[in-house]
Chains A and B, each alone.
Chain A
Amino acid sequence: MTAAFNPAEMIGTWVAAILTLAMFSFLYKDNPVFKVGESVFLGVALAYGMVLAYYDTVYPQIVQKFTGDDAAHGVMLIFTPIIPMVLGIFILLRLIPRLGWLSRISFAVFIGGYSGIAVPSVIAGTLLPQLTDTMRPFGPGWVGWVTQLILVIGVFATLLFFFFSLEHRGTVGRISRVGVFFIMVAMGASFGNTVMARVSLLIGRFQFLYYDWIQHAILHRS
């Protein structure tokens, strides 16, 4: 079946296909075509980031707070746009050595505030539920029993491996080596998943080259 011709879409597909091939050319060896593709990516990504930062942060959080329909008034004007804006300017003052110390105020506010939010949230949201799950009853059945036993041994041995106040000799050393075994298994699982992820990305690019570029843009098949 012949596909409908959309000029903008076609140009986009051709540009994406050429840039994809330019990136793949690095697998043979470093070359000017790859460098051009790399520079185009960096330029586009930077410009995109700047535009997004303005329209999603600066414009709604500062400009609209002064001029928008729901502009802040009175005390809120000081707390919502003015104080955060001044703290942001303080961070930029690091570029001027004489006034760089002002940035410490901004960082103190940021770190203090963020720690206050993050520490209790992470303890309640991750640490405690994960600890509780590690201490769940053994079972059900022999599979559940063995799984839970492996989990408990793994957690204990791995934690001991990262306990550096005791010299890793004798019993401590032997248990630490069991911990190393568990870390290796975890790394193997992680490596296997990483391979799968990278292959998936390659498949995605090849699917694009075959379906969107060759079939659709060149052969005009839907």
Chain B
Amino acid sequence: MDPAASMHSFILSMGGLVLLIVLLFLGGQLLPASFAKSVLNLDRRIIYAFVAILVFTPIIKPLGLSFAITKEVQDAYNTIEHLAPGTPIIISSDYGAATMPETHPMYIALLHQCFKKKLRPIILTMVPDGPGITSIGLRTVLQSKNPAGALNYPNLQSGIDYAYLGYKPNATAAILGMVQSFSGTFPTDYYGKQTKSMPIFKDVHSLKDVGAVFDIAAVAMPEYWVNYGTQRTGVPLAVSVTAVSAVQYYPFYRAGQFVGLVNGMKGSAEYEKLVGEEQITGQVGDATKGMDAQSVVHVFIVLSILLANLAIFVQRRTARGATA
């Protein structure tokens, strides 16, 4: 961000903070005690109902709210985009059903980008609930059609244009194994075919031979990739993580250990936008579809936090008045 924009954001943030403090102070002084009582004793199910309505409404009737591309996501996209056609890349899809809304759209968008750019993805998973979801995602992309109704990728062949290796337990051993040999670590692919005989592995013997690693993770797998794989080999590592774990990974991005960082559903929506998924399939990506609801609910949560704080201010003032 340039200095002028930084200063602008800083002034806006400080102005908002001052306004907030003034509003809280005035509200705390003027609002009656009954307000605090009703807010603080509110049945939690009413809040759940509000959240449900606010999530469901934008899904039925999209608002089309815009969102910007962040530098972390742009960097991840550029890393893959700048690879030469034919370059093999590893997609480590380490997520399960529990975090699909955040991670699966990213996986789909990344596969579209790889196939569009004629890269050769080698897909694997190191979490037990990954194989089913990952294979469904791969099938979805391979069977996807363009807006005219024709297959997007009609001539792609397993073992030549891509490889799906399936699940490998023990991430440490699996990554260390890949640093030495792919076929030794994955003797067969997900469908039981020998990897040694696959054309895709003809010039890919170990981790050093791939153009990049993209880890889509709901668990701490990026740390395994850094410690046992990419730091040893110097292969660029981009990651897509759930929003819960994103905070702990920003230092890795800042230090250059991750070349890009995609944060949760918002990051996935940004990636869908960069890849142009709507233009490829004629359908808006799942993460992009969810962004309206995400924004609306965030506003509701911020207002709820403010309201609850205001009620506490009023309650304290009332309690002070009662003791005086």
Smallest CB separation, A108 vs chain B (Å): 18
Q: Does A71 contact B (CB under 8 A)?
A: no
Q: Does B227 contact A (CB under 8 A)?
A: yes
| B100 partner residues in chain A, CB cutoff 8 A | 204
Known: A49-B128, A193-B243, A203-B265. A125 touches B228 (CB 8 A): yes
Q: Does A132 contact B (CB under 8 A)?
A: yes
The segment from B16-24, B54-62, B78-86 found at the interface with A is B54-62
What's the Cα separation between A127 and B48 when bound, in Å? 42
Would you call the interface of chain A mostly helix, strand, loop, or mixed?
helix
Known: A27-B45, A56-B169, A197-B242. A203 touches B59 (CB 8 A): yes
What's the Cα separation between A202 and B51 when bound, in Å? 9
**Judging by beta carbons under 8 Å apart, are B294 and A196 in contact?**
yes
**Judging by beta carbons under 8 Å apart, are B56 and A133 in contact?**
no
**Judging by beta carbons under 8 Å apart, are A118 and B172 in contact?**
yes
Q: Does B137 contact A (CB under 8 A)?
A: no
| B243 partner residues in chain A, CB cutoff 8 A | 193-194, 196-197, 200
Give the interface centre of A117, A125, A141, A202 by most chain B CB atoms within 10 Å.
A125
**Judging by beta carbons under 8 Å apart, are B255 and A202 in contact?**
no
Interface residues on B, range: 35 or more
| A199 partner residues in chain B, CB cutoff 8 A | 55, 293-294, 297-298, 301
Q: Which residue of B lies closest to A51 (CB)?
A: B128
Q: Does A28 contact B (CB under 8 A)?
A: yes
What's the Cα separation between A200 and B167 when bound, in Å? 26
**Judging by beta carbons under 8 Å apart, are B255 and A132 in contact?**
yes
- Chain A residues 100-156 with CB under 8 Å of chain B are 114, 117-118, 121-122, 124-126, 129-130, 132-133, 141-143
- Chain B residues 144-185 with CB under 8 Å of chain A are 167-169, 172, 176
**Judging by beta carbons under 8 Å apart, are A200 and B60 in contact?**
no
**Judging by beta carbons under 8 Å apart, are A114 and B59 in contact?**
no
Within 8 Å by CB of B172, from A114, A141, A195, lies: A114
Q: Does A75 contact B (CB under 8 A)?
A: no
Smallest CB separation, A75 vs chain B (Å): 18
Q: Does B187 contact A (CB under 8 A)?
A: yes
Interface residues on A, range: 35 or more
What's the Cα separation between A201 and B99 when bound, in Å? 7
Q: Does B208 contact A (CB under 8 A)?
A: no
**Judging by beta carbons under 8 Å apart, are B187 and A129 in contact?**
no
| A49 partner residues in chain B, CB cutoff 8 A | 128
Q: Does A210 contact B (CB under 8 A)?
A: yes
Known: A194-B244, A206-B59, A207-B286. A200 touches B265 (CB 8 A): yes
Within 8 Å by CB of B244, from A70, A197, A207, lies: A197
Known: A28-B45, A186-B247, A194-B244. A203 touches B298 (CB 8 A): no
**Judging by beta carbons under 8 Å apart, are B6 and A200 in contact?**
no
Q: Does B64 contact A (CB under 8 A)?
A: no
Q: Does B15 contact A (CB under 8 A)?
A: no
What's the Cα separation between A102 and B176 when bound, in Å? 29
- Chain A residues 47-66 with CB under 8 Å of chain B are 48-49, 52-53, 56-57
Smallest CB separation, A179 vs chain B (Å): 17
Binary per-residue interface labels of chain A (67-82) against chain B in the complex, 1 for a CB within 8 Å, 0 otherwise:
0001000000000000
What's the Cα separation between A206 and B45 when bound, in Å? 18
Known: A27-B45, A130-B251, A142-B3. A210 touches B56 (CB 8 A): yes
Q: Does B88 contact A (CB under 8 A)?
A: no
Within 8 Å by CB of A206, from B6, B247, B293, B298, lies: B293
Q: Does B205 contact A (CB under 8 A)?
A: no
Q: Does A189 contact B (CB under 8 A)?
A: yes
Cβ-closest 7 pairs across A and B: A204-B101, A125-B227, A133-B255, A197-B243, A200-B265, A125-B231, A203-B290
Task: Give 24 A-B contacts (CB < 8 Å), ordered by A residue.
Answer: A70-B187, A118-B172, A125-B232, A126-B226, A126-B227, A129-B231, A133-B251, A133-B255, A193-B243, A193-B246, A193-B264, A194-B244, A195-B301, A197-B99, A197-B102, A199-B298, A200-B265, A201-B102, A203-B59, A203-B293, A204-B102, A207-B101, A207-B286, A207-B289
